[in-house]
Structure 1
């Protein structure tokens, strides 16, 4: 995303001319080399829809192919499958030429993903699907393995990327954003949190350094020398690289002839070569002096973490549902069913969601008509995911022995450890006099239950009811069977809140303000300590004169340095707070499963509503905050001012966690934690990436009201395009998050598992009563190490089932035992593409795996062949 136009290009030229001042010619013994890489940056969708950009951009591939044919010395780069695949499908006559140019090495395919995704906000498994989809297409269609990582415009990069890229078969990583300072070396080894190192190529002067060059030899010489000198601080060695391309940019016919003429001139101060990324990688690969960078290349464009916030929730929802659908299909396959046949349908459901993870779309920085298209894509994926979940669920339920008194309920646990958590199910009754419901588990024990909502017959009996209960000890990646029986206990209606609202269980005592909903006390019984030093779970709204990308300022499209501005805690007087106004007192619901306080009132010109739910037997405190915004250029944050002094802040990143500095907003996955002096507080979230901790106050970004702001026309952005919908005026938005106070630090408290549980709820459904080959309760996969989780279980590409697990806490997990169904007879370690070099026999239904801190491993499992069916 580079702002384009004559004014911007002119500013670049002035900057680069200044950067070249005083540059001396290299020694005469050996000239330096400037490697020129032409490309076009495919936007996917941002200002135009997917189809509109294809109409605009596919001719650029035709033009690039023609130039490569006419100019043997020319080179070009293409990357995203979402761009290349439609080209080859719509212009099949061009495929032979396309294949030949790729084989000759003059047209290089980079990226190897469906799109150029955001990598911070979508989950880790979504990134793996990007690679599987993208590299799989190029492998199957063109017979090539893409090894150049090409995330040149992605808005920041987390510290597990080196491991993920290596496991996917990439040998390099190209980007222009996220280094800690402007003079950072252009070529370096990036070391991730597990110790993996990856050759990384940083473009300090953007991926458009050499685009827009003059078609005049003298002026071109001046242009190229200026651009070469602009890299003095970052690439002082004899080899430098410059990309020539912009957003949906047209290939430049004059570039290769100008480079050739420059190179032939005997007085040229350096050599110039048309090149592909692989050409430059090979030269840099000979160096043994590359510096090592450890950590994250983030944050970039912090405003994007909460602009069009609903899209972040969509990403989280679709990933959870598709991963569940894959797990059910894999379990069916492990049971001898046809789960592998679901793989094409699963990919059809994944692709629209993967496309919507394009860096601009995930960030919410699009125009309004593109936004509508994005939501439509998520809805399509959601429908297909629902179909696949229903198919897998029916196949599993049909095998379970569900006989017993009452309505059978099967509760499925999509996570890889035995857990007790909330389950909700819809029930219907035709009998007279039903006042409530009794839930009985498969061991005959009555579980506490609570009617969440119901409709009744004229005689007062229950017709339909949504019933909540805590399903205890649901097996790992497995299920437990319950039965619902009619009972006489009625539902508990909400009651007006007393003067002081107190919720209490065996873990905590909570005190709330009955008028405003502010959490004015949270006492942890273990250790007897108070979590908050002031009113908490309070929303602050303050002015933010930024745009959809940036907090508090307008967009700098070429921004490449990790943002370091410290965000203070919003101050009363300058910001509006949700506890500064109230209407009627809230209401309180009490029951055997949970107690919940609800309140709603005006919030300046908008509206505010809150729920705080405390479970009888769970340590998690679930919260929702609903906002109606009627102001432009504001942002909303939920504040949790803790008593934790000198604490350390860790956030979850894909497949791991990173410690982050005080005062700077970063994107978190499922959780953010502040711990110190033997105690801590974790905030779990569903689709709320933006987190910051300042002076002991955890702040969660819940909503921003902004538009595109000042953005130069180009790259598909045209006069008259609207982004006014991003102001969120009059829209009702509900944020879901949870609190987990704990002893010790985030590792001791099992926060990674708690975050996954909050985002992957138990699934409860009624089924028919019948015999079955499966018992009433069963685990299909179980992992021995508490710090190791299974992130994915799916039908594998080449047959069998692929299981991926990773270490969550930064501590080694040697000899981790993975228990499997008895029918699994062979297993082998694979890469992320599910290529497995060799399979080994599985003994006693389990495999042992050694995991280093934050290590990711994929296993491919094979079931014993089915016995032949008698004719």
Structure 2
């Protein structure tokens, strides 16, 4: 029987090749014209009206990132009468690279979009039932995007093609085919029958009689097929397969909800401007497919991508709106983009949900219910609460299947976040967001599903993705055949919400996973493209300031609130939190534009802040200091300003004994040796030394950084075994308030200023690096004299604990972690924190202590130098700030983290104090945002959270006249919240650990 199986499978492979060649017949050439658009893409009207030159098959075309318009003219031959006729156009497509190079969008002469062209979709229907003599005129806007994937799979080789300036201008592609041909429907149907049955048979065990039923039926079909007349004999061959195709699925068969999908990266191996076109091509393809297949349901995430269609491709948008209203083109996700969730701040994630859900409500009247992030690189423990606060109830991803160390134990479960909120979550067990609905994928989904016996359903997103393309008629054909087929899971094309409703209902006791969903891969994304990350951090804090001071100025002085400006700026920042932009895993073009966007955003926000502070400060020449950071005497206020708001405290003393420098400000005493390293950091309140015996703080270390698979994405654990301590110095000198250290290594130079600030209990390190290394990672370490089994890292609206040991494989896998403004390590009665202004990657490890015991080393990952997809990533000058805070508790870490990111601002004014709009009585309640309501009512919206992970209460008092106070969701709609009591001047809240509460004060 083994021999029989080998022969049948070999016969299947060869016969399918012959059948594929016979799907179209009677080809005739078409008249082809071309126009190469100069520079960037042009509007539709310009492309249609261009002066087309003659072209023909074999012509070379397409410089990197170019646009060529094609005009196709033809007359349907009389011989094609009574048959379906297609235009077949192959512009140099590689079927293995769908979405990654050549693509096109077909238009009629009047500008109506027809469909997209891509390597798996090279045809356009011109007549369902040709009469003969029909005149055909079509136009194709084609993109000659360079192929940046080498070899098979995701193989990246450093390439100059990721920047238009270095990509060159030589044509990369050739026209392979341009013809009209008859579509042989029965031949195509036979192809689908054989592919489905062959793939199913290959997945069944030999012990299953069903496998041999399928193989024998396939063998009989071959006997009935005349390979010299495939079109004529295809019906007879299909008759031999009809019986096995009609056998119903087993009662116990796994149930798969298949959803049309095209995960389109908002930028990655192409710039944002190209994504706008990708979305239009894919959406056009979907709309055309829906015309022929009423069963198709298509899910598209990212409000930003819908907005691009509305604003740039209204001819496509109109069709999308119609299908959305029918319920077949389904907005999902509820976020502005498929965001990274590790690095965006808490308020930014809240705004991702606010802007995303608001767009779908405003445009379609649809309340999306799922958060849809199939490809982001790990998921913060803050997300479940934010999902619930956005009036969503489900979460989907599949990325955790990429874990390289541990297999995640569930596919359907309840995910519990920081505050105890639980969200029903699903990981598609097919382990893909771009299924072809192949037999292998469907069988893998059923076998792989971890929750058998308790649950019976999974979701399967199908369609070409990453670079777009979406579902195809072949995928729908497979889904149709697998709907109820013996030996297979049952496949039903349906909406995502239909799946979630059924899956949640059948699994009420789904298991619980507590805490972050840490991806055991792509840890380098916490560090790659430092300027992009710095732009994000700075933008988030400038937005905080702009909203705070603009709101205060509006309420106190009547100054206009810049709502439209802030809305637009937020959307720029949210777009750049997409999971291949902020993580640093896009081509150089993307990051160059991101940095420019951040610079423009910063200029606009600084202007908004300046106007608001000028209005608040009034006339005069007295210095008024504005503080938007947490206020140690009033929890975190909505911001206070006045002549006494600046930090006080003893002046900084810098002394030297010839071998080093001693810095002291009455709160901290720090010693810098002749190597420019910290050898002592003592908080004078306790007299305890923060640094471990015999160690050095602010030790820069350089590691080789050559990950196995993905340069910009990964750091692999073996990098830690090899390093160079950067202890040689070019110069060390005392300066006002501190010590200046200059080092050179390799081709790079680093200049550091170690300082104390009056009234501040921390040692600041201001670092400027002229970074010229390649495939290296630069770390800055502090070996702290603390023994602890866990570190604490700030995440959105709270913090998480992670092990410092490697007891289990789960612990060991977290060798690089993400933190926001601070990392804290402590033991009973004492701790220390390391805070930063733009760094996300860290590692925290246990070390042997001189004299016995163990210490804890905290290191910041300052810079990397990956080679792909951007071969010059991070090269250049960077300025980074971080600090060590001795004797710190968690509350101190929170305070100092805000301070290093929100420096004081001084303006000239009357000298009168500007009281905060809101003040908070509890030290553990932190105000994260103060703004005016989105609806333009002038209501004041305040978002705060419990920051210490402790149950408690907080009283929020308003410094202005108000009417009512409501707790609201992230879209600022009324929300029932327990433990709220209105008091004179404000409200008292009973807060659970890490609870986020949004208050709306009517005016």
TM range (shorter): 0.7 to 0.9
Quick check: 1:822–1:844 contact (8 Å CA) kept in 2? no
Structure 2 distance, partners of 1:54, 1:796, is 30
Offset of 1:809 from its aligned partner?
0.5
1:133-172 matches, within 5 Å, as 133-172=355-394
- Residue 409 of structure 2 corresponds to 184
Q: Secondary structure at the match of 1:778?
A: coil
Quick check: 1:567–1:665 contact (8 Å CA) kept in 2? no
Quick check: 1:41–1:249 contact (8 Å CA) kept in 2? yes
Deviations 1:9-68 (A, max 9, x none): 99xx99999987589799944543222112011211122111112123311101111212
Quick check: 1:118–1:359 contact (8 Å CA) kept in 2? yes
Q: Secondary structure at the match of 1:724?
A: coil
Q: 1:631 to 1:776 in 2, by over 3 A?
A: closer
- Residue 241 of structure 1 corresponds to 459
- Residue 585 of structure 2 corresponds to 365
Q: 1:383 to 1:363 in 2, by over 3 A?
A: same
Structure 2 distance, partners of 1:633, 1:682, is 29
Q: Secondary structure at the match of 1:320?
A: helix
Deviations 1:547-583 (A, max 9, x none): 5434445xxxxxxxxxxx5985x6xxx422221x123
- Residue 941 of structure 2 corresponds to 802
Q: 1:138 to 1:550 in 2, by over 3 A?
A: closer
Q: Secondary structure at the match of 2:732?
A: coil
Q: Note if 1:275 corresponds to 2:494.
A: yes
Structure 2 distance, partners of 1:858, 1:17, is 56
Q: Note if 1:290 corresponds to 2:504.
A: no
Q: 1:837 to 1:735 in 2, by over 3 A?
A: closer
- Residue 927 of structure 2 corresponds to 790
Offset of 1:202 from its aligned partner?
1.2
Q: Secondary structure at the match of 1:785?
A: coil
- Residue 756 of structure 1 corresponds to 898
Q: Secondary structure at the match of 2:385?
A: helix
Offset of 1:296 from its aligned partner?
0.9
Q: Note if 1:583 corresponds to 2:583.
A: no
1:665 pairs with 796, 801, 816, which one?
816
2:880 pairs with 714, 722, 735, which one?
735
Quick check: 1:413–1:478 contact (8 Å CA) kept in 2? yes
Quick check: 1:135–1:146 contact (8 Å CA) kept in 2? yes
Offset of 1:126 from its aligned partner?
0.9
- Residue 811 of structure 1 corresponds to 950
Deviations 1:337-363 (A, max 9, x none): 244x41111111112111111111001
1:852 pairs with 971, 989, 992, which one?
992
Offset of 1:273 from its aligned partner?
0.7
Offset of 1:630 from its aligned partner?
3.0
Q: Secondary structure at the match of 2:420?
A: coil
TM-score by length of 1: 0.79
Structure 1 distance, partners of 2:776, 2:257, is 45
The structure with the greater share of residues assigned to helix is: 2
Quick check: 2:528–2:585 contact (8 Å CA) kept in 1? yes
Offset of 1:603 from its aligned partner?
2.4
Q: Secondary structure at the match of 1:829?
A: strand
Structure 1 distance, partners of 2:610, 2:154, is 54
- Residue 459 of structure 1 corresponds to none
Offset of 1:634 from its aligned partner?
0.8
Structure 2 distance, partners of 1:411, 1:505, is 21
Structure 1 distance, partners of 2:766, 2:801, is 27
Structure 2 distance, partners of 1:290, 1:807, is 28
More displaced stretch, 243-252 vs 73-82: 243-252
- Residue 673 of structure 2 corresponds to 513
Say which structure, 1 or 2, has more relative contact order (CA 8 Å, 6+ apart): 1
Q: 1:9 to 1:751 in 2, by over 3 A?
A: closer
Deviations 1:833-870 (A, max 9, x none): 1112599996532211111110000001112xxxxxxx
Q: 1:576 to 1:145 in 2, by over 3 A?
A: same
- Residue 843 of structure 2 corresponds to 692
Q: Note if 1:676 corresponds to 2:814.
A: no
Deviations 1:210-260 (A, max 9, x none): 22x5xxxxxx5x446534445244656432322213212213122223322
Q: Note if 1:723 corresponds to 2:870.
A: yes
Q: Secondary structure at the match of 1:290?
A: coil
Deviations 1:606-647 (A, max 9, x none): 222211111332212211223233332111100111221235
Offset of 1:752 from its aligned partner?
1.4
Structure 1 unmatched runs, 5+: 214-219, 421-472, 485-490, 554-564, 590-594, 709-721, 864-871
- Residue 410 of structure 1 corresponds to 624
Structure 2 distance, partners of 1:630, 1:384, is 31
Quick check: 1:20–1:225 contact (8 Å CA) kept in 2? no
Structure 1 distance, partners of 2:342, 2:892, is 22
Offset of 1:477 from its aligned partner?
1.6
Structure 2 unmatched runs, 5+: 1-98, 101-147, 156-195, 211-247, 806-814, 847-855
- Residue 640 of structure 1 corresponds to 782
- Residue 479 of structure 2 corresponds to 259
Structure 1 distance, partners of 2:960, 2:652, is 46
Deviations 1:145-186 (A, max 9, x none): 111110111111111110011001111111123477325211
Structure 2 distance, partners of 1:9, 1:723, is 15
- Residue 321 of structure 1 corresponds to 542
- Residue 835 of structure 1 corresponds to 973
More displaced stretch, 300-309 vs 235-244: 235-244
- Residue 339 of structure 2 corresponds to 117
TM-score by length of 2: 0.69
Structure 2 distance, partners of 1:21, 1:360, is 40
Offset of 1:810 from its aligned partner?
0.6
1:523 pairs with 682, 687, 708, which one?
682
Offset of 1:818 from its aligned partner?
0.8
Offset of 1:335 from its aligned partner?
2.4
Quick check: 2:705–2:715 contact (8 Å CA) kept in 1? yes
Q: 1:60 to 1:700 in 2, by over 3 A?
A: same
Deviations 1:696-726 (A, max 9, x none): 1111100111122xxxxxxxxxxxxx61221
1:612-623 matches, within 5 Å, as 612-623=754-765
Q: Give me the CA root mean square deviation.
A: 3.3
Structure 1 distance, partners of 2:726, 2:554, is 51
1:147-546 matches, within 5 Å, as 147-178=369-400, 181-182=406-407, 184-208=409-433, 210-211=435-436, 222-223=439-440, 225-233=442-450, 237-245=455-463, 246-251=465-470, 252-263=472-483, 267=486, 269-286=488-505, 287-299=507-519, 300-335=521-556, 337-339=558-560, 341-398=561-618, 407-415=621-629, 417-418=631-632, 477-481=639-643, 498-514=658-674, 516-533=675-692, 534-546=695-707
